[in-house]
Structure 1
Amino acid sequence: MPFIRADEAVVHEIHGGRFVSYVRPDTGSRDVAAWRVEIPAAMVGPTHTISEEETFYVLAGRLRLTIDAESAELRAGDAAVAPAGSELAIANTTDQPARLWVTTRVGLTAELADGTTFAPPWAQ
């Protein structure tokens, strides 16, 4: 099934963000997971270490993305790549929501600062 319709997206809300999953094994992908994440104004996400490379493309708004202690302010049209094993943090320091398109390999896990491992359902 090469086509994924909007009504097939699955929504997950966690850590203050809204993750809308499109590309994943149950929609036909074998290797890649992709989703839209909506980050509300003034939200700071938890720092975590990722098991797989992730790519980010800013669809709307502005946010601060930190990859291994290097930070950049990104806005619509900007992109970033976080290598596997890197520490990642996202913050929306504005008064407007931001939206990103994120892509990674199926099976991504994230280790939180307290040592717990999280397997995001939108990347499994």
Structure 2
Amino acid sequence: MPVIHAADAEVHAMHNATFTSYVRPSTGSKEICLWRLEVEPGTVGQGHRVLREEVFLMLSGTAELTVDDETTTLVAGDAAVVPAGSVLRVDNPSTTPAAFAVVVPVGFSAELADGTPITPRWVS
């Protein structure tokens, strides 16, 4: 049974956010990826199109998820499903950090606003 201890998780930082990668193919998963996303206070996120479904579980704080043109505020305990093909942006207009657990299928990828394809390092 693969176990990923917190001390062994890979941490990546970009766009005023920290991605702590736990579950992915390189740690033993064949079907799903799981990471912790922490978004700094006052952050306006980078819009991007997700090419596979993405699920968010709000762990602490509050944040705004914009999917296509619909914005929803999430608080601890709330969950959201972002359908494949949607344009997603995660904002934290509050004064405290926002933390999520994020789950995607293996093979997850996205596109930046200019169409540039991206495969995040924390899903391989």
Which residue in the other structure is 1:41 paired with?
A: 41
Post-superposition offset of 1:73: 0.5
Where do 1:30-69 residues align within 5 Å? Answer: 30-69=30-69
CA drift at 1:109: 1.1
Q: CA RMSD in A?
A: 0.9
Identity %: 48
Q: Which position in structure 2 is the counterpart of 1:110?
A: 110
Unaligned runs of 5+ in 2: none
TM-score, normalised to structure 2's length? 0.96
Q: TM-score, normalised by structure 1?
A: 0.96
Distance 2:44 2:107 in 1: 24
- In structure 1, runs of 5+ residues without a counterpart are none
Q: Are positions 1:18 and 2:18 aligned together?
A: yes
Work out the CA distance in 1 between the residues paired with 2:28 and 2:45: 29
Q: What is the one-letter code of the residue matched to 1:49?
A: R
Q: Which residue in the other structure is 1:83 paired with?
A: 83
CA distance in 2, matches of 1:117, 1:42: 27
Deviations 1:78-120 (A, max 9, x none): 0000011111011001111100000001121111112211110
